[in-house]
Amino acid sequence: MEAAVPSRVALSAASRFPNRHAVAGDRSCIYKGRCQSLAIPMALSAAAPGKGGVLDRPVEKTTPGRQSEFDVKKKRKMTPPYRVILHNDNYNRREYVVQVLMKVIPGMTVDNAVNIMQEAHVNGLSVVIICSQSEAEEHCTSLRGNGLRSSIEPASGGC
Protein backbone atom coordinates (compact mmCIF):
# COMPACT_ATOMS: atom_id res chain seq x y z
CA MET A 1 0.00 0.00 0.00
CA GLU A 2 2.78 2.44 0.89
CA ALA A 3 4.68 1.90 -2.38
CA ALA A 4 1.57 2.44 -4.50
CA VAL A 5 0.93 6.06 -3.39
CA PRO A 6 4.21 7.94 -2.66
CA SER A 7 2.53 11.14 -1.39
CA ARG A 8 0.60 9.23 1.26
CA VAL A 9 3.73 7.34 2.27
CA ALA A 10 5.56 10.56 3.02
CA LEU A 11 2.75 12.00 5.12
CA SER A 12 1.94 8.80 6.96
CA ALA A 13 5.61 8.07 7.76
CA ALA A 14 6.18 11.64 8.97
CA SER A 15 3.08 11.52 11.14
CA ARG A 16 4.05 8.14 12.65
CA PHE A 17 7.53 9.33 13.64
CA PRO A 18 7.18 13.03 14.55
CA ASN A 19 10.63 13.33 16.23
CA ARG A 20 12.52 11.75 13.33
CA HIS A 21 14.63 14.10 11.18
CA ALA A 22 14.47 13.98 7.39
CA VAL A 23 17.54 12.42 5.80
CA ALA A 24 18.37 12.84 2.11
CA GLY A 25 17.42 9.70 0.22
CA ASP A 26 15.10 8.53 2.99
CA ARG A 27 11.74 7.28 1.83
CA SER A 28 9.83 9.08 4.52
CA CYS A 29 11.14 12.57 3.83
CA ILE A 30 8.66 15.16 2.63
CA TYR A 31 10.69 17.41 0.32
CA LYS A 32 14.17 15.91 -0.14
CA GLY A 33 15.67 12.65 -1.30
CA ARG A 34 14.03 9.75 -3.10
CA CYS A 35 10.38 10.47 -2.36
CA GLN A 36 10.17 13.31 -4.85
CA SER A 37 11.59 11.29 -7.73
CA LEU A 38 10.01 7.90 -7.04
CA ALA A 39 8.07 8.13 -10.30
CA ILE A 40 11.21 8.62 -12.45
CA PRO A 41 12.95 5.32 -11.57
CA MET A 42 9.60 3.53 -11.88
CA ALA A 43 9.06 5.02 -15.35
CA LEU A 44 12.60 4.18 -16.42
CA SER A 45 12.32 0.61 -15.22
CA ALA A 46 8.96 0.24 -16.98
CA ALA A 47 10.46 1.58 -20.21
CA ALA A 48 13.50 -0.68 -20.10
CA PRO A 49 13.85 -2.82 -23.22
CA GLY A 50 12.32 -6.25 -22.96
CA LYS A 51 10.19 -5.31 -19.95
CA GLY A 52 7.02 -4.52 -21.91
CA GLY A 53 7.34 -0.77 -21.38
CA VAL A 54 6.21 2.14 -23.47
CA LEU A 55 9.28 2.18 -25.71
CA ASP A 56 9.12 -1.45 -26.80
CA ARG A 57 7.83 -2.24 -30.28
CA PRO A 58 4.69 -4.34 -30.20
CA VAL A 59 5.22 -7.90 -31.29
CA GLU A 60 2.96 -8.67 -34.22
CA LYS A 61 1.97 -12.30 -34.33
CA THR A 62 1.05 -13.67 -37.72
CA THR A 63 -0.58 -16.94 -38.45
CA PRO A 64 0.94 -19.24 -41.06
CA GLY A 65 -0.11 -18.33 -44.57
CA ARG A 66 -0.90 -14.70 -43.66
CA GLN A 67 1.25 -11.65 -44.21
CA SER A 68 1.76 -8.96 -41.61
CA GLU A 69 0.38 -5.48 -42.22
CA PHE A 70 3.93 -4.15 -42.68
CA ASP A 71 4.67 -6.72 -45.40
CA VAL A 72 1.47 -5.88 -47.25
CA LYS A 73 2.22 -2.13 -47.18
CA LYS A 74 5.78 -2.75 -48.32
CA LYS A 75 4.55 -4.96 -51.17
CA ARG A 76 2.08 -2.29 -52.30
CA LYS A 77 4.81 0.35 -52.40
CA MET A 78 7.15 -1.87 -54.40
CA THR A 79 4.67 -2.86 -57.13
CA PRO A 80 4.40 -0.35 -59.98
CA PRO A 81 1.08 1.48 -60.20
CA TYR A 82 -1.45 0.81 -62.96
CA ARG A 83 -4.36 2.88 -64.21
CA VAL A 84 -7.83 1.45 -64.69
CA ILE A 85 -9.36 3.26 -67.66
CA LEU A 86 -13.08 3.47 -68.41
CA HIS A 87 -13.97 3.86 -72.10
CA ASN A 88 -17.11 5.55 -73.39
CA ASP A 89 -19.74 3.40 -75.05
CA ASN A 90 -23.11 4.12 -76.58
CA TYR A 91 -24.83 1.12 -74.99
CA ASN A 92 -24.98 1.75 -71.23
CA ARG A 93 -26.99 4.47 -69.57
CA ARG A 94 -25.11 6.98 -67.44
CA GLU A 95 -26.92 5.98 -64.25
CA TYR A 96 -25.94 2.36 -64.77
CA VAL A 97 -22.27 3.30 -65.24
CA VAL A 98 -22.34 5.26 -61.96
CA GLN A 99 -23.94 2.30 -60.15
CA VAL A 100 -21.36 -0.16 -61.49
CA LEU A 101 -18.44 2.12 -60.57
CA MET A 102 -19.72 2.42 -56.99
CA LYS A 103 -20.26 -1.33 -56.76
CA VAL A 104 -16.89 -2.41 -58.23
CA ILE A 105 -14.46 0.21 -56.88
CA PRO A 106 -14.09 0.23 -53.07
CA GLY A 107 -14.62 3.65 -51.50
CA MET A 108 -16.09 5.17 -54.67
CA THR A 109 -18.51 7.98 -53.87
CA VAL A 110 -21.44 9.09 -56.01
CA ASP A 111 -19.72 12.39 -56.84
CA ASN A 112 -16.50 10.68 -57.97
CA ALA A 113 -18.43 8.10 -60.00
CA VAL A 114 -20.46 10.83 -61.75
CA ASN A 115 -17.29 12.81 -62.52
CA ILE A 116 -15.54 9.71 -63.95
CA MET A 117 -18.60 8.79 -66.02
CA GLN A 118 -18.95 12.35 -67.35
CA GLU A 119 -15.26 12.57 -68.26
CA ALA A 120 -15.46 9.25 -70.12
CA HIS A 121 -18.62 10.43 -71.92
CA VAL A 122 -17.08 13.74 -73.00
CA ASN A 123 -13.44 12.75 -73.63
CA GLY A 124 -13.89 9.12 -74.65
CA LEU A 125 -12.03 7.71 -71.64
CA SER A 126 -11.37 8.41 -67.98
CA VAL A 127 -9.00 7.14 -65.29
CA VAL A 128 -11.06 5.29 -62.68
CA ILE A 129 -8.37 4.40 -60.14
CA ILE A 130 -4.60 3.99 -59.85
CA CYS A 131 -3.56 0.86 -57.96
CA SER A 132 -1.34 -2.22 -58.12
CA GLN A 133 -1.41 -4.43 -61.20
CA SER A 134 -3.33 -7.29 -59.59
CA GLU A 135 -5.98 -4.93 -58.18
CA ALA A 136 -6.21 -3.13 -61.54
CA GLU A 137 -6.79 -6.44 -63.33
CA GLU A 138 -9.53 -7.37 -60.84
CA HIS A 139 -11.28 -4.00 -61.23
CA CYS A 140 -11.03 -4.15 -65.02
CA THR A 141 -12.45 -7.68 -65.10
CA SER A 142 -15.31 -6.65 -62.79
CA LEU A 143 -16.13 -3.61 -64.93
CA ARG A 144 -16.13 -5.75 -68.07
CA GLY A 145 -18.26 -8.37 -66.33
CA ASN A 146 -20.88 -5.67 -65.76
CA GLY A 147 -20.87 -4.65 -69.43
CA LEU A 148 -18.54 -1.63 -69.31
CA ARG A 149 -15.54 -1.18 -71.57
CA SER A 150 -12.34 -0.82 -69.59
CA SER A 151 -8.61 -1.41 -69.83
CA ILE A 152 -5.47 -1.06 -67.74
CA GLU A 153 -2.11 0.55 -68.46
CA PRO A 154 1.02 1.31 -66.43
CA ALA A 155 0.86 4.67 -64.71
CA SER A 156 3.83 6.75 -65.83
CA GLY A 157 5.54 8.96 -63.28
CA GLY A 158 4.42 6.95 -60.23
CA CYS A 159 0.98 8.59 -59.88
pLDDT in tens, 41-66: 454 444 455 555 566 666 666 566 67
The string of DSSP letters for 113-133 reads HHHHHHHHHHHSEEEEEEE-H
Q: What per-residue confidence (pLDDT) applies to 126?
A: 96
For residue 97, report the phi and psi dihedrals to the nearest 5 degrees. -60, -45
Residue spans per domain, the chain: 82-154
User: Do residues 146 and 130 make contact, with C-beta atoms less than 8 angstroms apart?
Assistant: no
Which CATH code, of 3.30.1390.10, 3.20.20.140, 3.40.50.300, 1.10.3720.10, is assigned to 82-154? 3.30.1390.10
Q: What per-residue confidence (pLDDT) applies to 13?
A: 46
Pairing between β-strand 82-87 and β-strand 150-154 as defined by DSSP bridges = antiparallel
User: Do residues 42 and 35 make contact, with C-beta atoms less than 8 angstroms apart?
Assistant: no
Walk along the chain (159 residues) in steps of 10 and give the mean pLDDT of each run: 50 49 51 50 50 60 65 67 94 95 95 96 95 94 96 78
| pTM for the predicted model, two decimal places | 0.51
User: Do residues 82 and 134 make contact, with C-beta atoms less than 8 angstroms apart?
Assistant: no
Q: What per-residue confidence (pLDDT) applies to 79?
A: 78
